[in-house]
Amino acid sequence: MNKLLILVKREIVERLSQKGFWYMLVLGPLIVLIGLFAILKAADQGKQDIKVLIADPGQIMAHRLMAQEEKNVHYYFIDDYLELPEFQNAKAYREFDVLLELNEKVLNNKKCFVFYRDQLGLDARIQIKFQVERRLEELIAAKYSNLTEQSFREIKQGIIFDFRDLKDPKNESKEANAWVGFIMGAFVLFFVGLYGMTIFRATLREKSSRIVEVLMASVRPQQLMLSKIIGIGLVAVLQMFGWIVILGLGFEILQQTVFVDIFDPSNWDASGPQRLNPLSELVFEQLNFSFLIVHFLLFFIASFLFFGALFSVLGARSNADSDGQQFLLPLLFLIGFGIFSGIYAIYFPESSLTGFLSYLPFSSPVIALIELSKGVTFSAYIELLLSLLILIACAFVLLRLAANWYRKSILRF
Amino acid sequence: MIQFAEVSKSYQQKLVLDAVCMEIPRGEIFGLLGPNGAGKTTLIRILNQILVADAGHIFLDNEPINRLHLKQIGYLPEERGLYKSMNVGAHLLFLAQLRGLSRSEALSNVTRWLKHFEIYDWKNKPIATLSKGMAQKVQFIASLVHEPKLLILDEPLSGFDPLNVDLILNEIKALKQKGTTIILSTHNMKSVDEVCDRVALLNKGKILVQDSVQHLRRNHSKGLIFVRFKGNMVGFANALWTDFTLLDQKEVEEGVFECTLQIRGSHTLNDLMRSLQDHVSIQHLSEILPSMQEVFVDMITQKVSENE
């Protein structure tokens, strides 16, 4: 068997035989689910009253909504167009939090815009969408088909509700989506940091136990270093996969039991949306999730190679745990820097610094995932692939350099 | 045959090996001796291809040494360690596979060597539970589990109790009988006396001498002679005349004496026998050769005083 494979296999077996791995695999996502459940429950209880003004110049909705309205969302109608500056500034409209524009052709083009003064919670967005969409579908079903309202919903083409900030009516920021990308990017760097520390400790342990000299009489230092990065990286991927499966199952269970999906027609009974699922709204309606996951994995692998090489060199240079901790600090700082640069990119997406950070290997995974979650044009996607290529190229250059440093350092006891 | 041709190595501009030339014939036990910091470990690491020489070459059977030769080399480093989380059998299997054995070959060799050392029941023992001596034995097996043609042992006896020292020395001799070439780097001069055919003495990166153990000891002889005789001590002393100096004397039983003499000038053992034969009855007479320990100290101190 190839020596690298033998080394990788040993790394994997060692990690999988540790109880900590299995605890982290199961407890980690469970803690996330419990936290998420708590946040959503708290959000449900902290609902504020929201006044929605529906501008319906064609009087399509005829001042009517479905019978069951959520108590915290109140709807008002105006039978005319309303210019945004007027809605924003006129004293008569200041009491309204949201303006929903229904153009006269909404039954055909199936798109309407929703402008809000202050950031709307997901729950409120879904309430508004649910109420208006049901009423419109009732009208479409009556006007264009002989189907019952229920049958029509099962084959319907959804109506697009484009939520926009009054201060950003062209919707240039896409902040909510950006935060999802940020969380994914931070997740990448979190796992890279977590398992990078494992690479560091494993290298240091091999060095301090002196087994390294026996190994290096059989394998090249590059193979030894790569085996750590690949073996531990595969364990990290396995754990992430486990997290995704457990979180996915957890979401599914929450969806089926606590936060029932309003987009599933089978849940549409006369009582209306008693329980909603904001997660499915975000994940399945607003984001191209599978596209994101593919890029998430690509950036994870590239970042792991990049940071893994750095962690292994630090392990090789250190002689004791305490000695290593001081070397680790700058590296952990760089990971922190990557995460914070993501926050900067959300608030200042067009700044030249963000452009620079998007190509810097320390920050590019987070910024790329933020951009992807907001949705990218073809040219922006090419730039993003370029940042991935730079990251991969840097990872390989670093691996080469690191192997040399590793060889020089590992036998200095 | 292993040849070192002008092998040099520096660490941060400090010359550690200075054009080392050395030849180790096949099937010999070769002692690599030298004080701490002489460059022995560096030389061994270069031979194991852990380090690369700055200059010079190493040839194994007239071929420049390369990574393919690693399968033929076994190495027990001075600083040794094992993965504490693995068990004995799995660890040996892992190291044997890294040396190029297939899984089945490795499995069969591991089983054979564990049985040979009568420790087969340790197979499933975690390394973490082994005593230092037990771990040393496992490490010794790890160095020869792939049955190398060249075995490099750096301080193989450290950490062993006297019983296990004998066990390891006997194993080294047995391996030589099977045709294995062994390089033994040690400060344990008794073991050098006991098992080495030839030695090289390395000091400050230079080979001071390489020769057979017997030659070295003879060359460093101080002309000391041990004599046991029956007779009169006064007669014995008179017979020595001025050609031999009496250094030590002891009556071991009634009328039987053991003495240490030193030869003066160019006299020989035969001269001594001729001088004594008419005066006392000689029971034993032999030249006292210096131990390797004495040769070692002698050479290093001589080198130091030369430099001063």
Q: For A209, which of B81, B103, B142 is closest by C-beta distance?
A: B81
* pLDDT mean over B114-127: 91
Residue A399 tokens, joined: 């691996």
Range of the domain at B265: 222-288
Whether residue B151 is found in the same domain as residue B278: no
Domain count, chain B: 2
- The closest of B289, B290, B269 to B227, measured between CA atoms, is B269
B107 and A CB contact within 8 Å = no
Check if B146 contacts A (Cβ < 8 Å).
Answer: no
Cα separation, A332 vs A18, in Å, equals 24
In the predicted structure, residue B102 carries a pLDDT above the cut 50: yes
Are A158 and A98 in a shared domain? yes
- Band (pLDDT 50/70/90 cuts) for residue B220 is confident
Tell me how close the Cα of A17 comes to any Cα of chain B, in angstroms: 9
- Pair (A252, A329) in one structural domain: yes
Instruction: For A13, name the nearest residue in chain B, comparing CA atoms only.
Output: B86
pLDDT in tens, chain A (413 residues): 588 999 999 999 999 998 888 998 889 888 988 887 787 776 666 567 888 999 988 888 888 887 666 677 888 899 888 888 888 888 888 889 999 988 888 877 788 888 888 877 667 777 788 888 888 878 777 776 666 666 666 556 677 788 887 777 665 556 667 777 788 888 888 888 988 988 988 888 888 878 888 898 889 888 888 899 999 999 988 988 888 888 888 877 876 776 654 444 444 443 443 344 444 455 545 556 677 788 888 888 899 989 988 888 888 877 766 667 777 888 889 899 999 998 888 888 778 888 899 999 999 989 988 888 877 777 888 888 999 999 999 988 888 887 777 777 766 65
Residue B17: phi and psi, rounded to 5, are: -125, 130
Question: Who contacts B120 (Cβ-Cβ below 8 Å, separation ≥6)?
Answer: B111, B114
| Candidates B80, B84, B86; nearest CB to A214 | B80
Task: Please work out, in degrees rounded to the nearest 5, the angle formed at the alpha carbon of residue B13 by the alpha carbons of B10 and B18.
Answer: 40
Q: Is the pLDDT of residue B51 over 50?
A: yes
Q: What number of CA atoms fall less than 13 Å from residue A287's CA on the CB side?
A: 26
| Domain closes at, from B218, B236, B253 | B218
**In terms of domains, do A331 and A185 share one?**
yes
Asked if B233 and B207 sit in the same domain, the reply is: no
Residue of A nearest to B70 (CA): A218
Q: Sign of the CA dihedral A241, A244, A246, A248? A: negative
Residues A30 and A54 in one domain: no
Round to whole Å and give the CA distance between B78 and B20: 21
Q: Are residues B212 and B234 in the same domain?
A: no
In a domain, B300, yes or no: no
Side chain identity at B226, as an amino acid letter? F
**pTM (2 d.p.):** 0.73
Residues on chain B touching A214 (C-beta within 8 angstroms): 75, 77, 80-81, 95, 139, 142
Predicted-complex ipTM score: 0.81
Q: Do A213 and B94 touch (CB under 8 A)?
A: no
The region, left, alpha or beta by phi > 0 then psi within -120 to 50, assigned to residue A259 is beta
CATH number of the domain within which B154 lies: 3.40.50.300
| B83, B196: one domain | yes
Check whether residue B91 and residue B181 sit in a common domain: yes
In a shared domain, residues A300 and A178: yes
Do B119 and B244 belong to one domain? no
CB–CB of B47/B31 below 8 Å?
no
Q: Residue A70 maps to which CATH number?
A: 3.40.190.10
Put simply, the answer to whether A214 touches B75 (Cβ < 8 Å) is yes
Q: In Å, how far from its chain's centre is CA B210?
A: 12
Residue B193 and residue B278 in one domain:
no
Q: Which residue has the tokens 């297939």?
A: B102
Closest Cβ opposite residue B97 in set A6, A206, A411: A6
Tell me which of B194, B218, B242 is where a domain ends: B218
Contact criterion met (CB below 8 Å) for A116 and A165: yes
CA distance A273 to A94: 28
Q: What is the mean pLDDT of chain B?
A: 89
Task: Please state, in angstroms and rounded to a whole number, the distance separating the CA atoms of residues A20 and A355.
Answer: 39
Phi, then psi, of B210 in degrees rounded to 5: -140, 130
Residue B307 falls within a domain, yes or no? no
Residue from the list A17, A212, A213 with its beta carbon closest to the beta carbon of B85: A17
β-bridge pairing A50-55 and A98-101: parallel
> Within a domain: residue B256?
yes
State the DSSP H helix or E strand holding residue A404, giving kind and residue range, or none if neither. helix A378-410
Contact criterion met (CB < 8 Å) for B83 and A413: no
Q: Give the pLDDT confidence score for residue B184 in this predicted structure.
A: 93
Taking the C-alpha atoms of residue A73 and residue A83, their distance in angstroms, rounded to an integer, is 23
A265 and A117 housed in the same domain: no
- Is B11 near chain A, with CB under 8 Å? no
How far is Cα A94 from Cα A26, in angstroms, rounded to an integer? Answer: 49
Q: Which segments of A155-267 are extended strands (E)?
A: 160-165
Last residue of a domain, one of A165, A194, A220: A165
B97 in contact with chain A, both atoms CB, cutoff 8 A: yes
Q: Are residues B242 and B211 in the same domain?
A: no
Please check whether residues A212 and A291 belong to one and the same domain.
Answer: yes
- Rounded to a whole number, what is the distance in Å from the CA of B52 to chain A's nearest CA? 11
Candidates A17, A218, A413; nearest CB to B79:
A413
The Cα of A318 is separated from the nearest Cα of chain B by a number of Å equal to 17
pLDDT tens track for B138-171:
999 999 999 999 999 998 888 788 888 888 999 9
Please give the torsion angle defined by the CA atoms of residues A210, A211, A216 and A217, in that order, rounded to the nearest 10 degrees: 100
- Domain identity same for A194 and A323: yes
Question: How far A411 CA sits from the closest chain B CA (Å)?
Answer: 9
- The answer to whether residue B66 is domain-embedded is yes
Note whether residue B302 is domain-resident.
no
The single-letter DSSP state of residue B122 is G
For residue A14, list chain B residues with Cβ-Cβ distance below 8 A. 83, 85-86
- From the list B99, B102, B103, the residue facing A218 with the nearest CB is B99
Chain B residues in contact with A217 by the CB 8 A cut-off are 48-50, 70, 73, 75, 77
| B190 shares a domain with B54 | yes
Q: Which of A14, A206, A217 sits opposite B75 (nearest CB)?
A: A217
Identify the residue whose tokens are 């904001």: A278
Q: Would you say B247 and B238 are in contact if contact means Cβ atoms under 8 Å apart?
A: no
CA dist., res. B19 & res. A54, Å (int): 92
Measure A238 CA to nearest chain B CA, in Å: 21
Residues A141 and A99 in one domain: yes
Answer yes or no: do A275 and A364 share one domain.
yes
Residue range of the domain that includes A117: 50-165
- Residue where a domain stops, chosen among A99, A134, A165: A165
Cβ contact B75–A14 (<8 Å): no
Same domain for B232 and B196: no
* pLDDT, tens digit (0-9, with 9 covering 90-100), for B227-275: 999 988 888 888 887 778 888 889 898 889 999 998 888 888 888 888 8
Count of pairs with CB atoms under 8 A, one residue in A, one in B: 61
- B208 and B269 share one domain: no
Run of H or E residues at B31: strand B29-33
Q: Does A275 touch chain B (CB under 8 A)?
A: no
The last residue of a domain, from among B218, B245, B260: B218
CA dist A9 and A13 (Å) reads 6
The answer to whether residues A140 and A103 belong to one domain is yes
pLDDT of residue A266: 46
- On chain B, the residues whose CB falls within 8 A of the CB of A6 are 94, 97-98
Write down which residue in A136, A165, A194 finishes a domain: A165
pLDDT value for A412: 65
Q: How many domains does chain A have?
A: 2
Task: Indicate whether A256 and A143 sit together in one domain.
Answer: no
Q: Touching check for A213 and chain B: CB below 8 Å?
A: yes
Q: List the CATH number of the domain containing B280.
A: 3.30.70.60
Min Cα separation B251/chain A (Å): 54
Q: Coil, helix or strand for B100? A: coil
Interface with A, mutate which of B97, B130, B141 (most A CBs under 10 A): B97
Any chain B CB within 8 A of the CB of A216? yes
> Residues B42, B181: one domain?
yes
Is the Cβ of A3 closer than 8 Å to some Cβ of chain B?
Answer: yes
